[in-house]
Amino acid sequence: MEGFPVIVKTLFGLESVLAQEMEALGLQNVKILNRAVRFEGTMDDIYLSNLSLRTALNILVPIDEFEAFDEQELYYNIKMIPWFDYLEVDQTFSISATTSSDTFKHSKYVSLKSKDAIVDKFRDKFDQRPSVDTQNPDIEINIHIYNNKVTVSLDSTGPSLDRRGYRLSKNEAPINEVLAAGILLTSEVKNHSVIYDPMCGSGTFSIEAAMIVTNTAPGLNRSFSFQNWSNYEPEVFEAIKNGLIEKQTAPTAKILARDTDRKALDITAENAERANMDEFISLKQEDFFESVPVDSAGIIILNPPYGERLNPQKIEEFYKSIGDVLKQKYLGHEMWIISSNFNGLRALGLKPTSKKVLFNGSLECKLQKYEMYEGSRRAFN
């Protein structure tokens, strides 16, 4: 079966991680772009990718590409697309647009003009039109404009893939599931026998880690926009889904979710149960600063407070205390920490062995790795 181009969107800094995931799935002609990765595939690959990729946000199938230098050209070219192949008159649709163009500066206007072109095409032929539904559309259309180049795609995903379906309960500042998975994959968490999430919050790191170490595909508990496409084959989709379920394994690591807040642990427990990962996660109310390692080695994944509600001196003292605990108690361990508070990271008093820039929402963060080898106490005290 001949393949077609597919664009997989991701977060800044996770492009190479996503590309590695795609190559591991056997996807062809993988090419890294800006906040996206391209491959060539079939509908089977669309099903597999949506179910399997941990660091993907949305999976787009381009259906047309053209140049437009004003709104009339945009309208005309959008209207010329054979929409009857993709959209039924009794279906609903939505349009999302992103623009980086001197000509088309407002994405909402691009969406509105494109919507007009589509509904006018249907009115001209059927004297009726499909409705727009921004909340739960049958068909999702993506329009990307760079300078004057317009790419029109069908979004095969629907609500972005970070919406795994398990996190109905959350604390004040939960980390995005895709970002959490990207950090865990970057840290090669699967190579460790103990995974320690000492400030677990709503449990995203622990749940994503559990899915990784049990080889559980992240999209098993949700639906996708491609299920409304005219060429959707439910039997094929179910076969691919069942094949992924059969590949699930026993966990390769202990996962320790800890927090000082009882409510956070209750939320983690609820979310883990919805993800069917609760049996693989050990929950305990514990203060990291008074903790004791359960093994001589392991990996610590930390998303501490960034200090936006605390004065700078207090947050730096907090980070210094983290560094002190690591040096005093966690020799032989590896820690990965993400934070937007760069002064706080310096206050750890440790030398990172790797650094990476990521964004947690709109906040620019650093993901840093620390190896607590023997001699760390002497080197950094």
Mean pLDDT of 194-201: 96
Mean pLDDT of 274-282: 96
Compute how many other C-beta atoms are within 10 angstroms of the C-beta atom of residue 92.
Answer: 18
In angstroms, rounded to a whole number, what is the distance separating the alpha carbons of residues 182 and 191?
15
Compute how many other C-beta atoms are within 10 angstroms of the C-beta atom of residue 151.
Answer: 18
What is the predicted pLDDT for the residue at 78? 98
Q: What value, to the nearest 5°, has the Cα angle with vertex 221 and ends 278 and 298?
A: 40
**Four-CA torsion 168, 251, 26, 145, nearest 10 degrees:** 20
Compute how many other C-beta atoms are within 10 angstroms of the C-beta atom of residue 74.
Answer: 24
What is the predicted pLDDT for the residue at 163? 94
Half-sphere exposure of 193 (CA within 13 A, CB side): 6
What are the phi and psi torsion angles at 50 (to 5°)? -65, -35
pLDDT at 306 over 50: yes
DSSP 349-376: ----SEEEEEEETTEEEEEEEEE--TTH
- For the chain, domain boundaries: 4-155, 177-215+241-380
314-373 pLDDT tens trace? 899 999 999 999 999 999 999 999 999 999 999 999 999 999 999 999 999 999 999 997
Mean pLDDT of 142-167: 95
What is the predicted pLDDT for the residue at 156? 98
Instruction: Tell me the CA distances in angstroms from 284 to 258, 298, 345, one per residue in order.
Output: 5, 17, 26
Least confident of 76-80, 165-169, 188-192, 356-360: 165-169
Do residues 258 and 286 touch, judged by C-beta distance below 8 A?
A: yes
Q: What value, to the nearest 5°, has the Cα angle with vertex 234 and ends 230 and 41?
A: 70
What are the phi and psi torsion angles at 243 (to 5°)? -60, -40
The percent of residues above 90 in pLDDT, for the chain, comes to 92
CATH number, domain 177-215+241-380, options 3.10.640.10, 3.40.50.150, 3.40.50.720, 3.40.50.10490: 3.40.50.150
Q: Is 2 exposed, middle or buried (0-12, 13-18, 19+ CB in 10 A)?
A: exposed
pLDDT at 311 over 70: no
pLDDT at 66 over 70: yes
pLDDT, mean over the chain: 94
pLDDT at 119 over 70: yes
CATH number, domain 4-155, options 3.40.50.80, 3.30.2130.30, 2.40.70.10, 3.40.950.10: 3.30.2130.30
209-233 pLDDT tens trace? 999 999 999 999 999 999 999 999 9
Q: Is 153 exposed, middle or buried (0-12, 13-18, 19+ CB in 10 A)?
A: buried
**Four-CA torsion 197, 254, 281, 207, nearest 10 degrees:** 60
* Cross-strand partners of 258: 284
pLDDT at 378 over 50: no
pLDDT at 381 over 80: no
In angstroms, rounded to a whole number, what is the distance separating the alpha carbons of residues 199 and 306?
13
Which band of pLDDT confidence, cut at 50, 70 and 90, is reported for residue 8? very high
DSSP 6-52: EEEE--TT-HHHHHHHHHHTT-EEEEE-SSEEEEEE-HHHHHHHHHH
Do residues 81 and 128 touch, judged by C-beta distance below 8 A?
A: no
Identify the DSSP state of 154.
E
Identify the sign of the CA torsion 213, 216, 218, 222.
negative
pLDDT at 30 over 80: yes
